[in-house]
Chain A
Amino acid sequence: MNKKTTKLEAKELNAYYGDFHALKNINIAMEEKNVTAFIGPSGCGKSTFLRTFNRMNDYIDGFRTEGDILLDGRDIYAKDVRVDELRKEVGMVFQKPNPFPKSIFENVVYGLRIQGIKKKAVLEEAAEKSLRRSALWEEVKDKMDKSALALSGGQQQRLCIARALAISPSVLLMDEPASALDPLSTAKIEELIYELKNEYTIVIVTHNMQQAGRVSDHTAFFYMGELVEFSKTKTMFTSPQDNRTQNYITGRFG
């Protein structure tokens, strides 16, 4: 086993939407090349927390944070951090597949084009590599110039993963990546997450307890802005320490 390295870390993190205290003193350290699942009821802060890792909340009026978010030990809210550089490092996949109304090929290389890469050969190679990694290559290799919108929901989501991978991030944030998909597509995404963790650090928000159990190494349970429990997924689902965790995962909340 490799030595454990902390990839993402939050230290005494507080976040506010105006007066609303959305995240309360969060302390957590996530290991490199590990899958961490965030679970908790709606409005518990898990998505807010996920989005602080690539500063997606910056656009929201009145949003502010206190405390530190560290990527490889570096504060990502520091003044000298460029958000576009940060997002090259930290990719994101959303709940609803959101391909651009362009060809499959253009979707995958979109980020690279923005970076100014123009060479066709480089783009083609990157596209194939990313699509292979997202387990979509075999299904789309003969129709790269067709519209991405013609793909099925599950294929679109894998395309979005390929698009995120194309810019070679080291962290992948996933906000309920399979909740809009059927069981077969869900299984493919989960299989993919399992594969990808060899190379990437993955953080996934999910409402599906079994999914958290199947794909993650560690699980964090959030409740009303607090990080209630963070432990190995196995421990969390067999013998949670906190009563609130137990009530939530066994479906007895409220």
Chain B
Amino acid sequence: MPHIDVELEKLKTKLLEMWDLVEYQLQSGREAMLQADQELAQQIIKRDRKVNQFDVKIDRMCENFFALFTPVAVDLRMVLAVLKINANLERIGDTAEGIARFAKKLDGPVSEPLLEMTKVVPMYEEAVAMFADCRVAFKTNDPVLAKTLIKRDRALDKIYRKSDGIVTKFMAENPEKISEALAVLSIIKKVERVGDQVTNIAEEIIFYREAKVVKHRQDKKKKKD
């Protein structure tokens, strides 16, 4: 394998390790929310430091790669994509930490009717599944899979848009559960962000593989809706 490919492989491996860690953070956040597990939530918050270390390390690896290999064409796009994916993974890590902070505020498990109405659990599961599929798309250089993720994000947006009204209604009917409802609403907002960040990553994968810029395209579509 040429030297440059060895270095690229190292970079890719490091990013996939970070991906695993962030996925674990997201999964744990879901558990912490559902069980109102204070201790687990605290662990997530603490573990975000590790995510940040990955972020710094990968940035540095990219910087070195630019300086030493002056990459062009597909190599250049790969490193640019890794840089941006790294930033997005770090943000998703922050989001998981944020979810943990809201989970910490819960006094007990979230009431069933609230979970049902808001669809927060299937939404969360879909976000985690998208995140995992996105990892596969990156690992296997699959822009087609990446494209499906951009579409799947719309389902999350839909649940998010309805959540305001649903939660407001729930609070009106259950004034004793306002703080719980607010925490759930905040988590929904965070999960919606995860969907957006997965979309960003998917766009970078498409750019890296196909040299096409697809970001900001749906913005136009959304405005038409």
Contact = CB atoms under 8 A, between A and B. Distances in A.
A238 B213 CA distance: 13
Contacts of B2: 251-252
A249 B73 contact: yes
B4 A251 contact: yes
A239 B207 CA distance: 10
Contacts of B75: 250
A54 B175 CA distance: 89
A237 B73 contact: yes
B77 A239 contact: yes
B74 A246 contact: yes
B156 to A, nearest CB: 31
A239 B211 contact: yes
Contacts of A240: 73
Contacts of A210: 70
A209 interface: yes
A209 B2 CA distance: 18
Contacts, number: 32
A238 B80 CA distance: 11
Given A238-B211, A239-B211, A252-B2, A246 B70 contact: no
A111 interface: no
A239 B212 CA distance: 9
Contacts of B71: 250
A245 B77 CA distance: 15
Contacts of B74: 246, 250
B72 interface: yes
Interface string A234-254: 000111100001100111100
B34 interface: no
B50 to A, nearest CB: 33
Nearest to A249: B72
B76 interface: yes
A67 interface: no
Contacts of A209: 70, 72
B4 A239 contact: no
Contacts of B76: 237-238
Interface of B: 2, 4-5, 70-77, 211
Interface of A: 209-210, 213, 237-240, 245-246, 249-252
30 contacts: A209-B70, A209-B72, A210-B70, A213-B72, A237-B72, A237-B73, A237-B76, A238-B72, A238-B73, A238-B76, A238-B77, A238-B211, A239-B73, A239-B77, A239-B211, A240-B73, A246-B73, A246-B74, A249-B72, A249-B73, A250-B4, A250-B71, A250-B72, A250-B73, A250-B74, A250-B75, A251-B2, A252-B2, A252-B4, A252-B5
